[in-house]
């Protein structure tokens, strides 16, 4: 039957259209394709005799339309051999706009601060209209703002609060959107009176929307709201239910218009416009109701004699009325019962076939819903739904064999086993729809079952086999177990089953199937009739219910077990520190999870800025039992920042620590610790040196920490005390020139802080500094080694010449005639010294003195030694070389020393392979040399003169390339040797 794919809709056409034609759509599908007719205002259109109308497929074309002759309500009718349907009614109208009356308009007189409404009064028109206003004949339209508003519903201009500048002529402009024609009204003069100014008053909402609006799905709705008032009111929008406005909403014209595009059911509700100024506020509200146009019917294919009920429901206000059409005509048949939106057809006959339509309508419009009724008459047919060929069932189970042939009218059903007709018994029942049900099945119930179906048009049959198998049983079930974290265990699952079946094992953990490909802890082991679950390296998260499910072709069985995993306790929680004293705090906490093993004890740990990590601290009680959630921490250091944490212990092990507590500082106290390792001695003459180990910061117990040093001569009763305010001090030197060397003292060191003095150390004996050595070193002699070095020797000062051990010697040397004040010094611990960096050919005076902890002794007699003349400044010249096989032959000119230079006694040849090779030194008293070398390498050679004053100036590196054998002089080597390298 035909089904509309496109229906005509209400249309407005401009009369000024260029092509002077109107096209109304209508299209339907059907098999065979439908043919079309049209009605206008209930009258059939004869497209053959009326030249203004023509059909293009199903669409209607109106040529040279006339506003009076061709406006009206059009309806499309589609028909094929299966029936007829009518389209919804579509109103066709033509847009137009007439001119305003030329009559002049009255002057409007208004006070400043007052509101004014200027009426537009549009001329007769049809089609969508847009309103604008012109002020004083300006070329541009008046702009809307918070103070001025143009209603697109009435065309009126609203000015919330008049200003002096508003005086002038106002013209209303009306434009027809479809024809694009614009007409202008006569001007309305506005005069602003100066005799008085309007006072302030609260907002008065002059433009508002309807109390109730029915909006259809997908359409756009605009709500207008504008208030008069002084001061100018502000406009805002909200929903009465408090929900936010939809994000798609547009608010414009200074909030005076709210637009909701694409209206949906969730957009329905009560909307409020709030107008507000300093004098008060006013609210306008209206309800938007979603108007559903949906009403659908489903095609029906019914057997002869069956009953049919179609229900058509539409939502709308006012409540819609219903009409039913069959093949386009109003339905009024005796066996058909119409009640509201429900059509009932009893005992369907072939005459009932056709197209049915439900029309639901109210003042807002009509909705058409279409459906086709096919009436079927046929003998039983098992082609599409035969009896199941083979049904496998377990012994003792229940089977349902369906028999559902296609038959119209409905067939009567009989069942046969082998050739025997089956009747209802205790165990077997033929149900009303023809289904055969057999309970408590035994092996003897297996075999061939045939369903025979008959109606007045014929009979047919279908056969299937019933196979009975032994039921599956779980013979080894998983057991509920306890396990400890880290263990591995096996949950067994073994079945007995019919030998012809292949059981499939599945395991579930806490209701979820275990995916063995992704779970590293789980593995299924065994095979055939066993599917045990291995759980490796068990963790706390593995506690729970495990189910083994076994499926076969005929049945499913399962067994469950609980696994409890015991682990170290979880972290204690809510740790709080209270009752802070100088050495104790009170801790309290809540227990964390015990992970299935009760907590046996708690351990308290602390850390400070001075500790390495967390340290276990002493508590009261000594061992905190598992039921106790508090303890006193003792033996803390005063005035130290502490953090605490608690660790729970059970029979499995030590748990995770709690979160650290907030950092606290113990109260200050007088220092409890005295300095240790007090000692002393040494120093310069007249000094008593006292040393000790500083007290660590964590034991200083408070602010302003320092030391009290006390000492007295041995045998004296009076202590001399001094205070050192530095917490880092570790020594004190008492100076008294009248103190005899090596005097014996008793010494002790105490501590203090801002709260008072602490304890003193044990008293120790300390000896004051001794005397400097009384003798100078004897038998001082020396020799010049070169132009820049002198070696000096002497005999050690004997032990009896000093009260203290000799710790070294000082050698003083200066140039003759320069004075001892400019002398240089060298300190050594042995009885020899090498003086370097000296001038050549110069007399130096040298003196030596011994040193102990008290200072330097007397100097020896000055010794005069002259350094040797400096070596020649001239380097060896005219160097020549010859390379043959593995030998280099070198010769050079003799270097002559100047009168103030040392005589040349020989030469030093230094050579190495390239820059990085091992250096070889060869000394000779000749001016030539033969060098044995390895082949295949570059060589670098330099030559220096040898003198008693030291080595002379170097010739500089000479590079001898590995391939060269040509004899060359130094002056001509630059090209062959790559010049001299530096």
**Parts of the chain belonging to CATH 2.60.40.10:** 3-95, 98-198, 200-291, 300-376, 379-469, 473-566, 573-666, 676-767, 781-866
Class level of CATH domain 573-666: mainly beta
Question: Which has the closest alpha carbon to 888: 944, 962, 982?
Answer: 962
Is the distance from CB of 742 to CB of 767 less than 8 angstroms? Answer: yes
Please tell me whether residue 977 adopts helix, strand or coil conformation.
Answer: helix
Question: Which has the closest alpha carbon to 589: 665, 660, 664, 666?
Answer: 660
Q: What is the DSSP letter of 530?
A: B
What is 3-95's CATH superfamily? Answer: Immunoglobulins (2.60.40.10)
**What's the token pair of residue 922?**
């060869």
Exposed, middle or buried, 880 (CB in 10 Å: 0-12/13-18/19+)? middle
Is the distance from CB of 918 to CB of 938 less than 8 angstroms? Answer: no
Class level of CATH domain 676-767: mainly beta
**What's the token pair of residue 893?**
């000119």
**What's the token pair of residue 877?**
């010249």
Options 2.40.160.10, 2.60.40.10, 1.10.10.10, 3.20.20.140; CATH for 300-376 is: 2.60.40.10
CA distances from 690 to 347, 711, 748, 768 (A): 127, 9, 9, 9
**What's the token pair of residue 146?**
């918070």
Is the distance from CB of 206 to CB of 226 less than 8 angstroms? Answer: yes
Residue with tokens 């060397």: 741
Class level of CATH domain 781-866: mainly beta
Options 3.40.50.720, 2.60.40.10, 3.40.50.11290, 3.40.50.300; CATH for 473-566 is: 2.60.40.10
- Arch. (CATH architecture) of 200-291: Sandwich (2.60)
CA distances from 386 to 331, 380, 535, 651, 911 (A): 40, 11, 48, 67, 110
Q: Say what the pTM is.
A: 0.45
Please, what's the b/e burial string for 365-400 (b: 16 or more CB within 10 A of its CB; e: otherwise)? bebbbbbbbebbeebbbbeeebbeeebbbbbeeebe
Distance between CA atoms of 401 and 412, rounded to whole angstroms?
A: 16
CA distances from 915 to 711, 929, 960, 962 (A): 67, 22, 12, 14
Per CATH, the number for 98-198 is: 2.60.40.10
Bridge pairing between strands 447-455 and 778-784: unpaired
Question: Which has the closest alpha carbon to 316: 290, 352, 283?
Answer: 290
DSSP string, 835-847: E-SPPTT-EEEEE
Q: Over the stretch 446-468, which tens digit does the pLDDT of each residue have?
A: 999 999 999 888 999 999 999 99
Class level of CATH domain 379-469: mainly beta
Residues of the chain predicted below pLDDT 50: 964-982
What is the structure's pLDDT at 474? 93
703-706, long-range: CB within 8 Å, 24+ apart, which pairs? 703/639, 703/668, 703/753, 703/754, 704/753, 704/754, 705/671, 705/751, 705/752, 705/753, 706/751, 706/752, 706/753
Show the DSSP H helices in 154-293 as ranges: none
What is the structure's pLDDT at 19? 62
Query: CA triplet 278, 282, 284: central angle to 5 degrees?
Result: 150
With left for phi above 0 and alpha for psi between -120 and 50, is residue 305 left, alpha or beta? left
Question: Which has the closest alpha carbon to 944: 868, 839, 874?
Answer: 874
Distance between CA atoms of 429 and 434, rounded to whole angstroms?
A: 10
Question: Which residues are bridge partners to 778 per DSSP?
Answer: 795
Distance between CA atoms of 479 and 489, rounded to whole angstroms?
A: 11
């Amino acid at each position: 039957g035909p089904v509309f794919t496109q229906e005509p809709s209400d249309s407005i056409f401009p009369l000024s259209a260029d092509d002077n034609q109107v096209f109304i759509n209508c299209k339907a599908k059907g098999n065979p394709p439908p043919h079309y007719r049209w009605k206008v205002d209930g009258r059939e259109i004869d497209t053959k005799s009326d030249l203004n109308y023509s059909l293009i497929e199903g669409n209607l074309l109106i040529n040279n339309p006339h506003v009076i002759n061709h406006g009206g309500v059009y309806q499309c009718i589609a028909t094929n051999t299966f029936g007829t349907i009518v389209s919804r009614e579509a109103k066709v109208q033509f847009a137009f706009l007439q001119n305003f009356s030329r009559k002049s308009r009255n002057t409007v007189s208004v006070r400043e601060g007052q509101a004014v409404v200027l009426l537009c009064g549009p001329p007769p028109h049809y089609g969508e209209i847009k309103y604008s206003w012109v002020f004083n004949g300006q070329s541009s339209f008046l702009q809307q703002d918070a103070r001025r508003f143009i209603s697109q519903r009435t065309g009126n201009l609203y000015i919330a609060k008049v200003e002096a500048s508003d005086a002038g002529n106002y013209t209303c402009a009306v434009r027809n959107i479809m024809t694009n024609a614009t007409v202008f009204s006569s001007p309305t003069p506005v005069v602003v009176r100066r005799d008085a100014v309007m006072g302030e008053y609260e907002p008065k909402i002059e433009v508002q929307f309807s109390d109730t609006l029915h909006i259809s799905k997908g359409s756009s709705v605009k709500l207008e709201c504008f208030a008069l008032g002084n001061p100018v009111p502000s406009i805002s929008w909200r929903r009465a239910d408090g929900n936010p406005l939809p994000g798609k909403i547009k608010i414009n014209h200074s909030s005076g218009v709210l637009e909701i595009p694409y209206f949906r059911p969730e957009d329905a509700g009560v909307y409020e416009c709030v107008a507000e100024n300093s004098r008060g506020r006013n609210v306008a509200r209206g309800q938007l109701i979603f108007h559903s146009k949906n009403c659908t019917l489903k095609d029906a294919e019914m057997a002869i004699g069956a009953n049919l009920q179609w229900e058509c429901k539409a939502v709308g206000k006012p409540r819609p009325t219903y009409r039913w059409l069959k093949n386009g005509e109003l339905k009024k048949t005796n066996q058909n019962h119409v009640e509201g939106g429900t059509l009932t057809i009893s005992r369907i006959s072939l005459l009932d076939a056709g197209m049915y339509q439900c029309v639901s309508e109210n003042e807002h419009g009509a909705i058409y819903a279409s459906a086709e009724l096919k009436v079927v008459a046929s003998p039983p047919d098992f082609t599409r739904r035969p009896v199941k060929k083979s049904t496998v069932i377990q012994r003792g189970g229940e089977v349902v064999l369906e028999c559902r042939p296609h038959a119209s009218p409905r067939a009567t059903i009989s069942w046969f086993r082998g050739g025997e007709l089956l009747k209802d018994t205790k165990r077997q029942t033929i149900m009303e729809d023809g289904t055969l049900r057999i309970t408590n099945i035994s092996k003897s119930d297996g075999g061939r079952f045939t369903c025979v179906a008959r109606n007045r048009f014929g009979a047919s049959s279908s056969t299937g086999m019933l196979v009975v198998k032994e039921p599956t049983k779980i013979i080894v079930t998983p057991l509920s177990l306890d396990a400890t974290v880290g263990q591995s265990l096996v949950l067994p699952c073994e079945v007995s089953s019919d030998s012809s079946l292949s059981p499939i094992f599945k395991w579930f953990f806490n209701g979820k199937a275990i995916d063995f490909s992704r779970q590293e802890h789980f593995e299924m082991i065994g095979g055939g009739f066993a599917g045990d679950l291995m759980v490796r390296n068990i963790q706390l998260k593995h506690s729970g219910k495990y189910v083994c499910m076994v499926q076969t072709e005929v049945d499913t069985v399962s067994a469950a077990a609980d696994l409890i995993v015991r682990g170290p306790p979880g972290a204690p929680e809510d740790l709080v520190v209270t009752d802070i004293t100088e050495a104790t705090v009170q801790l309290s906490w809540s227990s964390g999870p015990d992970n299935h093993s009760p907590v046996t004890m708690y351990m308290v740990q602390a850390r400070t800025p001075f500790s390495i990590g967390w340290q276990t601290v002493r508590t009261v009680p000594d061992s905190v039992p598992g039921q106790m959630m508090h303890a006193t921490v003792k033996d803390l250091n005063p005035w130290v920042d502490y953090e605490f944490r608690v660790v729970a212990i059970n029979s499995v092990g030590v748990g995770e620590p709690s979160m650290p507590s907030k950092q606290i500082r113990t109260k200050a106290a007088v220092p409890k610790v005295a300095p240790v390792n007090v000692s002393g001695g040494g120093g310069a003459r007249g000094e008593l040196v006292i040393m000790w180990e500083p007290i660590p910061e964590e034991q200083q117990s408070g602010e302003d920490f320092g030391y009290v040093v006390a000492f007295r001569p041995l045998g004296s009763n009076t202590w001399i005390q001094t205070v050192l305010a530095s917490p880092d001090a570790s020594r004190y030197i008492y100076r008294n020139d009248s103190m005899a060397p090596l005097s014996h003292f008793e010494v002790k060191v105490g501590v203090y802080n801002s709260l008072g003095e602490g304890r003193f150390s044990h008293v120790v004996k300390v000896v004051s500094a001794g005397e400097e050595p009384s003798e100078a070193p004897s038998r001082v002699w020396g020799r010049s080694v070169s132009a820049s070095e002198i070696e000096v020797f002497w005999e050690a000062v004997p032990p009896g010449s000093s009260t203290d051990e000799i710790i070294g010697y000082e050698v003083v040397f200066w140039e003759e005639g320069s004075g001892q004040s400019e002398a240089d010094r060298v300190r050594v611990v042995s009885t020899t010294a090498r003086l370097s960096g000296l001038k050549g050919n110069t007399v130096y005076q040298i003196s030596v003195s011994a040193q102990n902890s008290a200072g330097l002794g007397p100097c020896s007699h000055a010794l005069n030694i002259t350094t040797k003349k400096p070596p020649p400044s001239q380097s060896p010249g005219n160097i020549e070389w010859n390379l043959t096989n593995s030998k280099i032959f070198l010769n050079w000119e003799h270097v002559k020393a100047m009168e103030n230079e040392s005589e040349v006694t020989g030469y030093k040849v230094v050579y190495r392979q390239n820059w990085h090779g091992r250096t070889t030194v060869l000394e000779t008293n000749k001016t030539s040399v033969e060098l044995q070398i390895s082949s295949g390498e570059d060589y670098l050679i330099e030559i220096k003169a040898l003198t008693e004053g030291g080595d002379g100036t170097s010739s500089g590196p000479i590079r001898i390339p590995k391939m060269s054998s040509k004899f060359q002089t130094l002056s001509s080597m630059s090209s062959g040797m790559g010049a001299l390298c530096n």
